[in-house]
Amino acid sequence: MNVLVTGGAGFIGSNVVRLLLDSGRSVTVLDNLSTGYRRNIDETAVRFIEGDVRDADRVVQAAKGADVIIHMAASVGNQRSLTDPRADTAVNALGTLNVLEAARAVGVRKVVYSSSAGIFGELRTLPIAENHPVEPDSPYGVSKLAGEKHCLAYSRLYGLEAICLRYFNVYGVNQRFDAYGNVIPIFATLLLRGEPLTVFGDGEQTRDFINVADVARANVLAACNRGVSGAFNLGSGTAVTVKHLVQLLEQAAGRSATVRHGPPRPGDVRHSLADIRAVGQALGFAPAVTLEPGLAVYVDWLGRELQVG
């Protein structure tokens, strides 16, 4: 099986690429290196194309010969989308449309799309099932929902298999500090540097954290399962408060944190917890990495990365 991974030099994408290569697949990576790193991938083992999903011709070039596209290139995060909503929409909505058009043009059989729990907006029920109302309250949530709807529409219109995986809070190896990004790399980086952490709100808000190794495995399962289309939640199925997360990071790092509090941020939900029964039934997926050992591995990797960087 030949697989194109857009955003394959990024955090999640590079983990997917490694798992694909380990399982004997042929891989092409398309990445503009805006947030990805060449050192995340082995360029001797993949066909690497530097390019942007906003460039339709470049996407077609990358897609030639692919059986499956795992589409991970994205502008990520609520806060980034509030800062630059036009760029967010151009990458996430129009970039996804370019991927789907390229898939049609060259005869790709399946697209696996990286969606987000950000499509739901403020939550009415927990855990969140796939049929929860989708009322995103940030440009990011809107653009990811638009990409998801495009994928599912193309599946119905053109017979293209499409699986949309709605990521909850992903963390793990190759995730570097980004002020707009996930709380774990932000807190872990500041903790290892001996700098104070800022908790927005009271710290009792909850998040569903899933390790990137599990996310990579779910993507490969989605790519390999023929005849399956649809949208599926992808989380750990467990929730932890931000306050408890700080304690777990302190244990993993072997040091104490200085914690400050700021006001709640616009676009941030209060609680989050995925119902993951559907993805288990459809793809045979179940998370394997629990939070404490996952954080230990991540903090160890990040400590070595910060020494290198």
Dump pLDDT digits (tens) for 147-158: 999 999 999 999
pLDDT over threshold 70, residue 132: yes
* Better pLDDT: 271 or 95: 95
d(CA 49, CA 34): 14
* Greatest CA separation for the chain: 55
> What's the pLDDT at 308?
64
Question: What's the distance, Cα to Cα, between the start and end of the chain in Å?
Answer: 36
Q: 267 vs 275, which has greater pLDDT?
A: 275
Q: Does the pLDDT at position 170 exceed 90? A: yes
Kindly list the domain boundaries of the chain, sorted by start residue.
Answer: 2-172+210-235
Asked if residue 80 has pLDDT above 90, the reply is: no
Confidence of residue 77 (pLDDT cuts 50, 70, 90): confident
The whole-number average pLDDT for the span 283-303 is: 98
- Note the pTM of the prediction, 2 decimals: 0.95
Q: Which amino acid is at 107?
A: G
In the structure, what pLDDT confidence band is assigned to residue 179 with cuts at 50, 70 and 90? low
Mean pLDDT for 221-243 is: 97
pLDDT at 42: 94
Question: How much is the average pLDDT of 10-38?
Answer: 97
- Distance from C-alpha of 214 to C-alpha of 32, rounded to nearest angstrom: 25
Angle in degrees, CA 161, 9, 297, rounded to 5: 100
- Give catalytic residue positions: 140
Strands (E), 183-271: 197-200, 206-207, 209-211, 230-234, 240-241, 259-262
Asked if pLDDT for residue 309 goes beyond 60, the answer is no
Place of tokens 């995986």: 165
What confidence score (pLDDT) does residue 284 get? 97
From the options 3.90.1640.10, 3.20.20.140, 3.40.50.720, 3.40.50.1700, give the CATH code of 2-172+210-235. 3.40.50.720
Mean pLDDT of 74-92: 89
Output the pLDDT for position 147. Answer: 97
CA atoms 112, 208, 20, 52: torsion sign: positive
- Which residues are paired to 241 by β-bridges? 206
pLDDT for position 177: 87
